[in-house]
Structure 1
């Protein structure tokens, strides 16, 4: 009798674990499918007619997520061209995303230019500061990288990435 109760408990635990795993798999499939449909719809729309800045930005962002960096940069550049003059604040996000696309393609000078464009508009944009510093690091411009991480920490003292990287650079430069 005791063995059969262990078996029932074991099967119950196994069934619960399988149910949880199934939930997460189905959820991931649903999210992926939704992203693919959105991507397809946007690509179809902008190929048939001129898109707006938001559509180009969304399309570029989805392509960044899929690691299609060259395609993403094309759409992000279109987003910048289509962005109305009164939406300068939104261009910060596009410049940062475009910088990331260039960074991922190891085009560090272009990435640095885009991050600096974002920072001209919003000097305390911590994400662009961290990205700019990382680009400097990849170009072996360690003093500029440290200075940029310190600017990031001035804007957000609890920034774990900037804290960790700045400390590492201080040790390397000492």
Structure 2
């Protein structure tokens, strides 16, 4: 009986170690794949063979790695291409806004988000990001207005709904109801 219990514990330990090993191997594989992709994209950029899409992908990988300054420089390179569709150019501006926002450069972030929205007015992610940047700068009225605009394009947008509800509860005061007194 004690041998069976020991065998069970050892089996569980082996299964646990095998599972941990699998997840560790998977994480290493993902990281290596990303690093290889970064290397290939850097090489394309260095040889002036990269497309705007390549620059955007490289910048996205840099953003994932929290290399915001490098991402911003790469996104600026992507914007130099003239043949980018407005929706794709808006993606680049939004990503650049995010890079600036994470560096606590709200004014630059706001400028980039506005450029994205100018190119693609119904770009809800950029609208949410712009409203968030306004919140950070304590421009609550503008944030509320932009969240409301996002909800016009996407009424079920969870981010805009949640943030708008939070802002309205916190900053917008309910109108006072006047009690009518009647004289009898």
TM-score above 0.5, yes or no = yes
Report the equivalent of 1:22.
21
Query: Greater helix share, 1 or 2?
Result: 1
Taking the TM superposition and a 5 Å limit, the aligned residue runs for 1:126-145 are 126-145=124-143
Report the equivalent of 1:107.
105
Q: Is the contact made by 1:63 and 1:69 (CA closer than 8 Å) also made in structure 2?
A: yes
Q: Is the contact made by 2:86 and 2:120 (CA closer than 8 Å) also made in structure 1?
A: no
Q: Report runs of 4+ in structure 1 exceeding 6 Å deviation.
A: none
Deviation at 1:83?
Answer: 4.3
Could you give the per-residue CA deviations for residues 80-131 of structure 1, whole angstroms, max 9, x where no partner exists?
111405x222112111101101111111111111111111222221211111
Q: Is the contact made by 2:59 and 2:72 (CA closer than 8 Å) also made in structure 1?
A: yes
TM-score if structure 1 supplies the norm length?
0.91
Secondary structure of the residue aligned to 1:72 is helix
Report the equivalent of 1:81.
80
Could you give the per-residue CA deviations for residues 13-66 of structure 1, whole angstroms, max 9, x where no partner exists?
222222111111101100101111111222122123353211211111111111
Structure 1 distance, partners of 2:17, 2:108, is 48
RMSD across aligned positions (CA): 1.5
Count of residue correspondences: 172
Structure exhibiting the larger radius of gyration computed from Cα positions? 2
TM-score if structure 2 supplies the norm length?
0.86
Report the equivalent of 1:42.
41
